[in-house]
Amino acid sequence: MKKTLERLRHRVCLYAKTEKETEFGELTYDYENCLTLWAEILPVRGKEETIDGQSVRADVTHKITVRMGAIKEPRSDMYFMYKGQKYEVLYFMPQYRYNDLIVFYCKIILETEEDY
């Protein structure tokens, strides 16, 4: 058990979609930082391809492991932030080797100042 928890050495922030009401009474959804927790981040796979206009597209997937009880209601509309990098959740499942861990498979979202 101790070796498992030693692997959780990355301090990540979890953002979840929350429902809000605007000043006009309309419902809208926005992401809020709901908690900060310890996790393990491991790269799983990556590929790079050239697309039209000599642009390069990279597709990188990571595995983020956290303690099972750390996230009360895991959902696929969440994302993690670590050192300014956004990891969008694709899907999640319990880790069957250790019953107290849950694994989130995520893709890196590259954002620049121009995206805002």
Asked if residues 68 and 98 have their Cβ atoms less than 8 Å apart, the reply is: no
Over residues 43-94, the pLDDT tens digits come to 988 777 777 777 776 777 899 999 988 898 898 899 999 999 999 999 999 8
Asked if residues 58 and 48 have their Cβ atoms less than 8 Å apart, the reply is: yes
- ∠ Cα 46 12 89 (to 5°): 50
pLDDT score of 40 more than 80:
yes
Asked if residues 108 and 87 have their Cβ atoms less than 8 Å apart, the reply is: yes
- The pTM (predicted TM-score) of the whole model is 0.79
Which residue matches tokens 């419902």?
27
Over residues 16-37, the pLDDT tens digits come to 998 888 888 888 888 888 899 9
CATH architecture of 2-115: Beta Barrel (2.40)
The domain ranges of the chain are 2-115
Asked if residues 1 and 29 have their Cβ atoms less than 8 Å apart, the reply is: no
Residue 116 is predicted with a pLDDT of: 43
